[in-house]
Amino acid sequence: MKKIGIITISRTNNYGAELQAYALQRKLRNLGYDAELIDYLYYKHKNHKPTSLSQPVLKLDTKSKLKNFLMYRVVSPLIEGSSVFSAAIKNRKKNFYRFHANGNTSYSKDQYRSYEELCKMSLEYDIYMVGSDQVWNPGTGTSLSPYFLDFAPNDKLKVTYASSFGVSQIPESLHAKYRDFFNNLDIIGVREKQGVALVEQLSGKQAQQVLDPTLLLSKDDWSRVINGGNMNSLPKGDYILLYKLHESDELVKKAYELKQKFNCEIYNICKRAYANKKIDGIHNIEDAGPSEFIALFQNAKFVLTTSFHGTAFSVNFNIPFFAVLRPNKANNSRITDFLEMLNLSDRIVWEDGESDNGQLSENINFSEANRLLNESRNDSMGYLQRILNAEYK
């Protein structure tokens, strides 16, 4: 049995990151492979150790360095390490821990707190794989080298699945650096259509667009990770679900319109457990873990979201939704490309209101979208099979 080591973003107290990491290793395991996540701590994790080798590709100015230090080494550990600020912090940490501890996520035996620790270890995988999320974003505050598998043995297969730049352009000053990065990879799969073009532009190599790993699992697959013992705290009956990564007046406006139309409550999944804005008529859910996140989407009557994964789960579960986007935002392509692929571009609401379709449809005919999603899922599985069946170097 081939052993696969996956490096991606995880252990970040972020729903999308945890669920995409889980989904890829789960799909590989379902296919009969011994797949696990290489437990390399992302730079935002309180136990990550920044070193001289973990400098970002875009040099940070003094102000940005100080901001990152205060945010990730002082403020976040202080707040999240204490239940004094909010009981929701303690409950949220417990729910995230429970999701991983229940056997949903398989991590490597050793944990790597620094880039140097990762490079020094003798890892024994047949295939090294970069997972999904914005692992190649030049604005990331740490080295991108681990996410181009420079630590992996040269005689092993090095591949990527649904990896993302998170931006539509790479500064010209970094083109040579990215070309060197991509020369280290054997087979490349990216999440966005723009990513395919960027890989070719930067390296001359071919890349295949594949689905985010959360979309490789069906609604029934996701139902198996719901923690039944903790569902009593979730909303009952019909409700409108909000999941926003930034404040949006347009999203709140739509939520109020839907509440009047459907005569039901509004619940908001908060991206953190503290310092959340309270909005009249909207119930904040601050302590949900990944399992609760899935259950909230599965049972929603309507979803309003600014998030890619919020959009992806709405589609996968066939829940009527609107994706509310800011014009000219750098990473809109991950949502617009996805919805265009499924002929669901009419579900986009722009925050400037200019392109608003004005139709708050209670129902969406998902038949065509499901067919197109299944086609893309088959293509993505074909890509995975090509990786898994590739000859060793």
| Cα angle value 166/168/170 (rounded, 5°) | 90
Residue 361 has pLDDT above 60, yes or no: yes
> What 8-state DSSP symbol labels residue 72?
I
Which amino acid appears at position 2 of this protein?
K
User: Three-state SS string across 312-354, please?
Assistant: HHHHHCCCCEEEEECCCCCCCHHHHHHHHHCCCHHHEEECCCC
| pLDDT tens, position by position, 282-317 | 999 999 999 999 999 999 999 999 999 999 999 999
Res. 192 pLDDT band, cuts 50 70 90: very high
pLDDT of 62: 67
Polymer length of the chain: 393
Side-by-side strand order, sheet with 3-7: 107-112, 34-40, 3-7, 127-130, 157-160
| Cα angle value 52/53/55 (rounded, 5°) | 80
Quickly tell me which residue has 């990491």 as its tokens: 21
Q: How far apart are CA 29 and CA 6, in angstroms?
A: 12
Closest-CA residue to 365 (of 349, 348, 342): 342
Pairing of strands 127-130, 157-160: parallel
* Residue 302, beta-bridge partner list: 240
E strand or H helix that includes residue 109? strand 107-112
Closest-CA residue to 163 (of 107, 204, 207): 207
Residues of the chain above pLDDT 70, percent: 89
Closest-CA residue to 384 (of 88, 25, 115, 120): 25
Please, what sign has the CA dihedral across residues 52, 56, 60, 65? negative
Q: How far apart are CA 126 and CA 363, in angstroms?
A: 46
Q: How far apart are CA 268 and CA 226, in angstroms?
A: 19
Of 84-88, 155-159, 355-359, 362-366, give the range with the top mean pLDDT. 155-159
Pairing of strands 208-209, 239-243: unpaired
Quickly tell me which residue has 């998170």 as its tokens: 166
Q: How far apart are CA 216 and CA 306, in angstroms?
A: 22
Residues of the chain above pLDDT 90, percent: 69
* Residue 301, beta-bridge partner list: none
Please, what sign has the CA dihedral across residues 353, 359, 362, 368? negative
pLDDT of 359: 61
Structure tokens at 332: 């809109």
* Residue 285, beta-bridge partner list: 269
Res. 121 pLDDT band, cuts 50 70 90: confident
Q: How far apart are CA 148 and CA 120, in angstroms?
A: 16
| pLDDT tens, position by position, 227-271 | 665 677 789 899 999 999 999 999 999 999 999 999 999 999 999
- Contact predicate 46/80, CB 8 Å: yes
Q: How far apart are CA 274 and CA 280, in angstroms?
A: 17
| pLDDT tens, position by position, 129-186 | 999 999 999 999 999 999 999 999 999 999 999 999 988 899 999 999 999 999 999 9
pLDDT of 170: 95
pLDDT of 313: 98
Residue 83 has pLDDT above 60, yes or no: no
| Cα angle value 28/243/44 (rounded, 5°) | 65
pTM (predicted TM-score): 0.92
Closest-CA residue to 140 (of 164, 120, 116): 164
DSSP reduced 3-state for 165: coil
Kindly state the greatest CA–CA separation across the chain.
Answer: 61
Cβ-based neighbour number of residue 40 at 10 Å:
26
